[in-house]
Amino acid sequence: MYYVDLAFNGLVFGCMYALMAVGLTLVYGLLRILHIAHAAVYAFGAYVAVIVANATGGIVFGVIAAMAAAAVLGIVIYRFLYEPLLSYPPYIPMIASIGLLVFMEDGFRIAFGEQGLTFARNPYPTQLHEFLGLTVNTVQIAIVIAATVCLLLLASFTTRTRIGIGWRATVSDPRIAESFGVDAIKVRHLNFAIGSALAGLAGALIGLLNNFVEPTMGFVVSYKALAIIVVGGLGSLRGTLIASLALGLVESYGTIFVGRFLDRDAIAFLFLIAVLIARPRGLAGIKAA
């Protein structure tokens, strides 16, 4: 039963990574930028969630506010940081993005303190349920359900609606999509809004799970999410989802089997490097850039 517990734990983290990585891979697919500051959006979502939830007393309000605020932040980052840098080589926006992450993390520390914040009333992580012999808590279930629902909605949005199809068309060929009347600017705003809202949701849920929100919570997650989109084959949604779940599981089992030699973060990157050596273009491969 122990191994099944590990698998479920891996699934929960895999879902969280997926929520993070989908936004990143969408940004990469559209703009070819490694959007490292995505992790700052994630931490921002967690802070908004904890502050709003404590102010209003409703955790649901907190989560919704986190998604909305993260979406706005994503659009602002695109408008004021990336848009002016699009004509430069890709490492310039990437360095700017790292700078923004470092800046925002230290900003959170100065504004809200080093110790981090906790939810005033959060009974969910300690509500345990027996489920097929597994013991799981409410937040873990919420993470799995939220990730599944959001990703299914996203999938149907990009295949069923006009703007969603325009979005995918822009990702595969911006010039031709534009000549067919797709508004590229609108697509980019939409892209950042949706990707960031998902990151904000992931941040809020992890904040709930740990009942704790701290300034550096996004730091390692950001690089893991980068590793995931690389393993998934930059820009590929399906590859990203597979890689997210695989990383969650590898970490979960890895900490048990090789935890004596490597810490959790190192295991994640060893996995990344091993996959890249075997398949230099990632799991899904990539069309020529």
Instruction: Note the residues at the interface with another protein (CB under 8 A).
Output: 28, 32, 34, 81, 84-85, 88, 90-96, 98-107, 110, 220, 223, 226-227, 230, 234, 260-270, 272-273, 276-277, 280-282, 289
In the chain, % helix, strand, coil (3-state, to 5) comes to 75, 5, 20
Give 133 or 280: the residue with its C-beta nearer to another protein: 280
Nearest CA among 258, 285, 242, 254 for reference residue 17: 242
Cα 282 from chain centre: 19
Q: How far is the CB of 165 from another protein (least distance, A)?
A: 26
d(CA 119, CA 88): 42
d(CA 89, CA 61): 41
Q: How far is the CB of 99 from another protein (least distance, A)?
A: 3
Q: How far is the CB of 131 from another protein (least distance, A)?
A: 33
Cα 48 from chain centre: 16
Give 114 or 173: the residue with its C-beta nearer to another protein: 114
Angle at 81 between CA 77 and CA 84, to 5 degrees: 135
Give 33 or 182: the residue with its C-beta nearer to another protein: 33
What amino acid is encoded at 227 in this protein? A
SS3 236: coil
d(CA 206, CA 273): 26
Give 155 or 262: the residue with its C-beta nearer to another protein: 262
Give 62 or 93: the residue with its C-beta nearer to another protein: 93
Q: How far is the CB of 126 from another protein (least distance, A)?
A: 31
Give 63 or 272: the residue with its C-beta nearer to another protein: 272
Q: How far is the CB of 32 from another protein (least distance, A)?
A: 8
Q: How far is the CB of 83 from another protein (least distance, A)?
A: 11
Q: What is the DSSP string of 22-42?
A: HHHHHHHHHH----TTHHHHH
Contact 227, 25 (CB under 8 A): no
